[in-house]
Structure 1
Amino acid sequence: MTERRSVIDVFWWTVLVVCALTVLFPLVWIFYQSLKTNREFFQSVWTLPETLKWLNYKTAWVKYNIGSALLNTLYYVGASLIIGTFLTTVNAYALTRLEFKGRKLIWGTIMLSLFLPGINALIPQYVLMRDLNLTNSITGLVILDSFGESVFFLLLLGGFMQALPKELEESAFMDGASLFQVFLRIIVPLSAPGIVTVAIFKFLSLYNNFLGPFIYLSDQKKYTIGVNMYQANQMMQYTSDWVTLFAGVLIAMIPSVFMFVFFQRWIMEGATLGAVKG
């Protein structure tokens, strides 16, 4: 039994290593390509650079206006993250912990929306944003993404809150606490791992969001990092400066990779605790 288990463990360990290599290999390849000259890149994409061209990163930062794009992204992601996470927390609490008429109907409607592809709402959203004069505005994007509730995040945090004992709220109400005090002082602290998990997923989704900023932003000075790097890629038709583009891609990846690695424990803990009924 032990020998059989060890064979199975080795098999799955091998599978996981292969999967990890399929993810890491393209990143390593892009990294050492970004340290080449364009001549070396076109001569052979597999050979290592003769000398490390760290100047490519400075060139990418200046040439593609990455600093300005990152500031735009910081405002867009930061504001959307704070407002959106707060609204998701409030909505999850109202739909899972409060009893009121129509609650089941609202939940049913939310579940039905899972069968509607998000791309179907693209045209109505654009018409609404245009009529409200919110196109070509980063603030307009913040409003759209903050108030456009995600069913996935709502279900994730709602499932987490459902695992909290109901007696905690009942005791607080008996002591004279208001609904807002119960929410702020009991539910929010106890749901912190779930809230952080949702916030991290929201950050990754917002930072990597391309379609929204691409559709609604027409001023190049307002581009987020995703749209900015797309425009840099389009420039390759005329310049073929691929090593600088690779350097820019790696710079653009740093915030999302850092967030995932640094908060990975929170993601696993929040997802696990949210699945436990206590």
Structure 2
Amino acid sequence: MKVNERTIGDYLWRIILFIWAMSIVVPLLWVLYESLKTNQEFFANVWALPQKWAWVNYKKAWVSYELGSTMLNTLYYVGVSLIVGTFLTTINAYALVRLEFRGRKMIWSIIMLSLFLPGINALIPQYILMRDLHLLNSLTGLVLLDSLGESVFFLMLLGGFMQSLPKELEESAFMDGASLFQTFMRIIVPLSTPGIVTVAIFKFLGLYNNFLGPFIYLSDEKKHTIGVKMYHANQIMQYKSDLVTLFAGVTIAMLPTLILYIVFQKKIAEGATLGAVKG
């Protein structure tokens, strides 16, 4: 009887998960085939498939929304922030988890306390700081802001992984004459690669989808990232009816994250419990 109940429960969960997956996949497919219609076909029937694939919409979106320069801005912002931010997260996690020094527990307590503070509370102080440092309307300034701004979630995730590494590895390295930085780079970093890759993937997704920061700090349209550019493209639709071009632009904007998820989906799934499992 218990086996039957468990089987029924499994089927119910599968049905629920299938419905949940369809609620995500169907809108993506809808946007895709709407981007291949003409505006006349779209307004005639939003659910009908296109009679002829209008690939010209993608060329039009690329040119009219200046997606080439926008992608370069996004690549610079995301790429540099990802490299610098991931390195800082790794070295911070190492210092807080593997090193013994006075005040370490107090620092961890303060970091944990920040979990209860909404990130939006830091918006005004950050804006004033960026203004006083003359970093407003600068992609480099935005890179510095996002690289130096640490995330408690990433520290806990990577710190939990590093805690599982044997302490004897560092002691052996010190006995062989390795410095602290050499021990970090040659022992801790290689052994922590799975955790670092997971953190990097989550950082990439967060940076690429970041809208609020670029929207507030970048006033020059030539410096906009993809999220802000598509927001302004959507605002233009209040005065125009070229929705199929907008759908084509949205599809182009989604491609990097979709490709990343398809390639690293196992890493992303494992990352949700990495700290708990390794810690």
Q: TM-score range by the shorter chain?
A: over 0.9
Deviation at 1:18, TM superposition (A): 0.7
Paired letter, 1:201: F
Structure 1 residues 159 and 214, CA gap change in structure 2 (3 angstroms): same
1:59 matched to 2:71: no
1:220 matched to 2:244: no
Q: Report what 1:13 is aligned to.
A: 14
**Structure 2 length-normalised TM:** 0.96
Q: Report what 2:258 is aligned to.
A: 257
Q: Report what 1:128 is aligned to.
A: 129
Q: Report what 1:68 is aligned to.
A: 69
8 Å contact 1:163–1:276 — kept in the other structure?
A: no
Q: Report what 2:193 is aligned to.
A: 192
Moved more, 91-100 or 10-19: 10-19
The size of the alignment, in residue pairs, is 278
Deviation at 1:273, TM superposition (A): 4.6
Cα deviation digits, residues 81-104 of structure 1 (max 9, x gap): 000000000000000000000101
Q: Quick one: distance in 2 between partners of 1:42 and 1:238?
A: 16
Q: Percent identity?
A: 72
Moved more, 233-242 or 201-210: 233-242
Q: Quick one: distance in 1 between partners of 2:236 and 2:111?
A: 42
1:206 partner SS = helix
Q: Report what 2:95 is aligned to.
A: 94
8 Å contact 1:163–1:274 — kept in the other structure?
A: no
Q: Report what 1:48 is aligned to.
A: 49
Deviation at 1:272, TM superposition (A): 4.5
Paired letter, 1:84: G
Q: Quick one: distance in 2 between partners of 1:33 and 1:270?
A: 34
Structure 1 residues 255 and 75, CA gap change in structure 2 (3 angstroms): same
Q: Quick one: distance in 2 between partners of 1:242 and 1:95?
A: 50
Q: Quick one: distance in 1 between partners of 2:182 and 2:259?
A: 35
Paired letter, 2:61: A
Q: Quick one: distance in 2 between partners of 1:217 and 1:171?
A: 49
Deviation at 1:2, TM superposition (A): 3.9
1:82 matched to 2:83: yes
1:246 matched to 2:238: no
Deviation at 1:174, TM superposition (A): 2.1
Q: Quick one: distance in 2 between partners of 1:277 and 1:37?
A: 52
Q: Quick one: distance in 2 between partners of 1:60 and 1:101?
A: 56
Cα deviation digits, residues 150-201 of structure 1 (max 9, x gap): 1111111111111111121122222222111111111101100000000000
Moved more, 40-49 or 105-114: 40-49
- Equivalence map 1:110-189=2 (5 Å): 110-189=111-190
Structure 1 residues 225 and 178, CA gap change in structure 2 (3 angstroms): same
Deviation at 1:269, TM superposition (A): 3.8
8 Å contact 2:157–2:274 — kept in the other structure?
A: no
8 Å contact 2:38–2:244 — kept in the other structure?
A: yes
8 Å contact 2:156–2:275 — kept in the other structure?
A: no
Q: Quick one: distance in 1 between partners of 2:22 and 2:164?
A: 37
Deviation at 1:12, TM superposition (A): 1.4
Q: Quick one: distance in 1 between partners of 2:73 and 2:162?
A: 34
8 Å contact 2:86–2:199 — kept in the other structure?
A: yes
Instruction: Note the residue ranges of structure 1 that are not aligned, 5 or more in a row.
Output: none
Cα deviation digits, residues 39-83 of structure 1 (max 9, x gap): 111112111111111111111111100111100000000000000
Deviation at 1:267, TM superposition (A): 2.6
Cα deviation digits, residues 2-46 of structure 1 (max 9, x gap): 433322221111111111000011111111111111111111211
Q: Quick one: distance in 2 between partners of 1:277 and 1:237?
A: 50
Over the aligned positions, Cα root-mean-square deviation in angstroms equals 1.3
Structure 1 residues 273 and 223, CA gap change in structure 2 (3 angstroms): closer
Q: Quick one: distance in 1 between partners of 2:4 and 2:122?
A: 55
Q: Quick one: distance in 2 between partners of 1:273 and 1:246?
A: 36
